[in-house]
Amino acid sequence: MPKQVVLKFPVELPEESLQDKEVIRKGKETIILELLRKGEISQGKAAELLAIDRHTLFVLMAKYDIPIANFPPEELQRQLTLGSMPGITIALDRKTALHPLDH
């Protein structure tokens, strides 16, 4: 069942801008990516809701600095040691998160 989000602003906005398809698309994208960042939805669900493939989602995630996976440092070390992430290029930040890299 489709969900509807209502946003209230303290000032008047131009009506034509609120009907602009690009504005609506970017607003939807922002909400979905924030839900993804908070772990409320999966990457698969985010891609489905945005009607994009996983690769395109990873590009968006990189653009907005959303990690593709969060591991405790011990688990990350175990995964890297075991070599169970072949072909994965990673960048580590202070939170020990895996971020997609834009090549």
Q: Considering all CA atoms of the chain, what is the largest pairwise distance in Å, rounded to the nearest integer? A: 57
**Which DSSP category does 69 fall into?**
E
Confidence grade of residue 103 (pLDDT, cut at 50, 70, 90): very low
pLDDT tens-digit series, residues 40-96: 999 999 999 999 999 999 999 999 999 887 777 787 777 777 765 556 555 555 554
Pair 32, 25: CB distance under 8 Å:
no
pTM of the predicted model over 0.75:
no
